[in-house]
Structures are given as C-alpha cells and as structure tokens.
Amino acid sequence: MTEADLYFLYRGVYVPKLIHTEASLDYFQNFTFRPQDVLIVTYPKSGTTWMQEVVPLIVSGGDPASVETIPNWDRVPWLEEVRASTLNLEGRPSPRMLTTHFHYSMMPPSFFKAKPKVIYVMRNPKDVFTSIFHYSKMASFLVTPDSQSEFLQKFLDGKVIFGSWFDHVSGWLNADDKDRIMYISYEEMIMDLKESVARISQFLEKTLDDEVISKIADRCLFKNMKQNNMSNYSAVPPEVMDPTKSQFLRKGISGDWKNQLTAAEADHFDAVYRDKIKDVQHKFVWD
C-alpha cells in the first residue's frame, strides 16, 4: 500500500490514518494545557517509549504501579492520536504526563499560553532511520519500504510519518521559552541512564534519593523494559504489529546504523545532514 492509502497530510506532514483522524487532530488543536503538565516530545523512534517509562516512575517517586498496569499509550498518551479524547485527560490530576510527535510549529495556542514543561528527546538520525525502517516492515499502518535506498531518500526528504527529522529537531531547538524545555538525547541515556534519570527528576523538581534513582534506572534498562508487557507492545494484535517481522523494542542500542547503511548511503546521509543542520546552534552528542 502507498502513502495515499495509509497516510494523510496534516499541516504538511504525513500522519497514519489508522491512529489519527480529523477529530483527533481537532482535539489536539483545542487541547487545554496546564502549566503543571509534563509533555514528552519526540520525532518517532527517538526514545518515546523509554521516556514514557522514566517519567511516570519519577513522578510517582519510584512506585511501579502505573508502569506495571497501564499501557504506555494510556499512561503518557499521544495528544494527536484517536485514543487521547477517550481518556478523560481533562479529569486527570496534575502533573499530567502527555506525549506528542508534532513539530514546534504545529503546537496549539494553549501550549504557548500555559507553558507546560517539555522533555525533548532526540537521537542520532541515522539510528532513527534504521529503527523506522524496521518498524515500517512490522506495522501494518505504515508504508512498507520497497527498498532501503528508496526509503532512505524519503526519510531525507521528510516524506515519511511526521515529516522531516531536520525540521522537527531544528524547530524544537529554536523554540522560545527554552527554560521550560529539557533537551536530552537517546545516546546520553544509553551512556548513563542513572545520571539521565537524576537530571530529569531535577528538571521535574522531584527530589528523589539515590537508591530510588538507581531503581528507576534499573527498571528502565532495555532488557527489563522488554519484559514489561505494558511497555513492549506485546498487547498490540499481530495484524497491526507483526512481531515475526521485527520487534518494537528491537535492539535498543546506539550506532546500529553501522550495520544498516552502506558506506555510500552513510556518506550521502552525512552530506544532507551537514547541509540541513548547518544553521542549528546545538552540539549534538553524535557529532
């Protein structure tokens, strides 16, 4: 199936029809944020699910009840997806934990008024590409790549779900009110998860003792999250996500692009990257 079958264009970016509707996007646009909300923002495959585990554990002071009983998509729901409007988010106590894959330029008016806290997670785009490539083979609501080279060009052109990685990252890095945004990378979390949890809890103004921080970091290790049926997507029917084609929690490493891209593809990627990111004043850990 093609993009025309599976996606529609919303403000210039593709979104999958199965999980986004006109009504869900209206809900997003009219959503009323609170200053106390915590919003996880990611380009897909950058560490969303990981952060949907870390943040509730920090907010609960290390109590695992919610991550053991509530699927990540209800625990820290995507505001733009169809489920959001069914979850009575308006009735949830603060701090509400929310997610979006949308670009900064797509945020609704209330976001700029209420100024909730934002945790923006970014990941080496070559690993993002690698992860999406495998995910696109397993998820029935995504276009299956014809070939790696064809899909790579679409990714670099932003003709994939949620548009251009380059626009997403540069938009959020150039956001106003940066003091309410915490920028963190997947790679930093891989390098030192405990330190990352400590930094996130500081940002959320949640004082936790060292032992609790260690426990949270341990729970959020890839091997442990893979066992958590509320976070590993095993509850999704195989006709929607086929685990024989790939896994949602697939490898959980940084640098897997080296096993995926040919030398020529990596060079092409780097050339496009250098050009598109040249005006962004940010020291990326992977550079």
Ligand X SMILES: Nc1ncnc2c1ncn2[C@@H]1O[C@H](COP(=O)(O)OS(=O)(=O)O)[C@@H](OP(=O)(O)O)[C@H]1O
Q: Indicate which residues carry an active-site annotation.
A: 101
Q: Is 64 helix (H, G, I), strand (E, B) or coil?
A: coil
From the list 92, 245, 251, 268, which residue makes contact with ligand X (rule: CB under 6 A)? 251
**Rg, Å, the chain Cα set:** 18
Lookup result for tokens 């915490």: 182
Q: Is 131 in the site for ligand X (CB under 6 A)?
A: yes
Residue 198 C-beta: closest distance to ligand X, Å: 16
Contact segment (CB under 6 A) with ligand X among 11-19, 85-93, 173-181, 245-253 equals 245-253
Q: Which of residues 59-98 bind ligand X (CB under 6 A)?
A: none
Residue 80 C-beta: closest distance to ligand X, Å: 12
Cross-strand pairs, 39: 98, 118
Q: Is 225 in the site for ligand X (CB under 6 A)?
A: yes
Q: Using CA atoms, how far apart are residues 56 and 216, in angstroms rounded to an integer?
A: 10
Contact segment (CB under 6 A) with ligand X among 22-30, 38-46, 57-65, 140-148 equals 38-46
Q: Using CA atoms, how far apart are residues 206 and 250, in angstroms rounded to an integer?
A: 31
Non-local CB neighbours of 5 within 8 Å, separated by 6+ positions: none
Please tell me what DSSP assigns to residue 142.
S
Q: Using CA atoms, how far apart are residues 68 and 86, in angstroms rounded to an integer?
A: 21
Using the minimum distance from each CB to ligand X, give the nearer residue, 49 or 170: 49
Residue 278 C-beta: closest distance to ligand X, Å: 26
Q: Is 195 helix (H, G, I), strand (E, B) or coil?
A: helix
Using the minimum distance from each CB to ligand X, give the nearer residue, 92 or 137: 137
Q: Is 276 in the site for ligand X (CB under 6 A)?
A: no
Q: Is 44 in the site for ligand X (CB under 6 A)?
A: yes
Contact segment (CB under 6 A) with ligand X among 40-48, 60-68, 198-206, 237-245 equals 40-48
Number of Cβ within 10 Å of residue 66's Cβ equals: 18
Lookup result for tokens 């066992």: 227
Residue 213 C-beta: closest distance to ligand X, Å: 16
Lookup result for tokens 């409007």: 85
Residue ranges in contact with ligand X by CB under 6 A: 42, 44-50, 127, 131, 134, 220, 222, 225, 249-252, 256
